[in-house]
Amino acid sequence: MRFKKIYIEISNMCNLQCPFCIQNQRPPHSLSLAQFAHVIREIKPYTQYVYLHVMGEPLLHPLLPAFLEECRKEGIKVNITTNGTLLKKRWKELCHLPIRQMNISLHSFEAHHQESYIKDIVSCVEEMKDTYVSYRLWTVQKGTWNEDNKRMIEDLSFAYHIPIPREHWVPSRSITLKERVFLHFEEPFVWPSLQHAFVTAEGSCRGFIDMCAVLCDGSVTPCCLDSRGDLTLGNIFETPFSAILKQENAQRFLADMRQHRLSAELCQKCRYRLRFDRRI
């Protein structure tokens, strides 16, 4: 089994409380360097790419440079998803380390309103010569935009000397600002939860087909949005990753997903996957 990507939650703690986020509901925890190195060694035979994200803000972790160095040593390519608020503060530590892609969630702005937010981010992005950058503005909602969103788009347009026509502010639209730098529009999404209403028991997802996640307590889950670990298949600190993949519960989940059966309750109540599964 090979995965296109594996998410590693290096910490479930964040410096913001964004309204769109489900918020961490587990005990706060961050990976140690030894734990992170263990996870990388375990998953290395199964993927070439890791995403340092599930819950939490990765730039808040003081050991992030050491984690990136560990990935470089093991030949693992790293993608980071961040709210960007700490990017300028941490940039001198990170600029010499390999980051394949950085996703910057601009829709976090409502939770912090930093005056020089876009300016500081753009100044760091300008120094990222070999890194793909995706500015994410996932706030497209029935064609309406608040003033903060409009101002950010105008600031990006000015910074990159490129017009961003209003007709392009639509879901699933990506605009190239410069080589390797993009602005991606999308609708807000709701994190899946067992508290939500039933959606369907039929359909598909990429969970365990081409990606999975390791939470900061070691829980292995097939879903990158499993904020509580409701789909946990095993713990990578207790059981080898190779053995977790072979366990009956993991193989049953994979078989059901391939047959377009959503056997897990969390999957049956998830609407995020409807973005790429249009069966219903």
Instruction: Tell me the pLDDT tens digit for each residue of 117-168.
Output: 999 999 999 999 899 999 999 988 777 788 888 889 999 999 999 999 988 8
Tell me how crowded residue 100 is: count the other CB atoms within 10 A of its CB.
17
Mean pLDDT (whole number) for 220-238: 97
What is the band of 63 on the pLDDT scale with cuts at 50, 70, 90?
A: very high
Whether residue 37 has pLDDT greater than 50: yes
User: Across all residues in the chain, what is the average pLDDT?
Assistant: 93
pLDDT at 280: 43
What are the E-state strand segments in the chain? 5-8, 49-52, 77-82, 101-105, 132-137, 174-178, 181-185, 211-214, 219-221, 234-235
Query: How far apart are the C-alpha atoms of 10 and 14, rounded to whole Å?
Result: 11
pLDDT over threshold 70, residue 224:
yes
Kindly state the tokens that stand for 242.
Answer: 């190779």
CB atoms inside a 10 Å sphere around CB 112: 14
> Rounded to whole angstroms, how far apart are CA atoms 214 and 223?
9
**Strand order from edge to edge, sheet including 49-52:** 174-178, 181-185, 132-137, 101-105, 77-82, 49-52, 5-8, 211-214, 219-221, 234-235
**Cα 98 to chain center, whole Å?**
18
Q: Rounded to whole angstroms, how far apart are CA atoms 224 and 260? A: 18
The secondary structure of 66-109, three-state, reads HHHHHHHHHCCEEEEEECCCCHHHHHHHHCCCCCCEEEEEHHHH
Whole-model pTM: value is 0.95
Helix axes 117-125, 147-160, angle to 10 degrees: 30
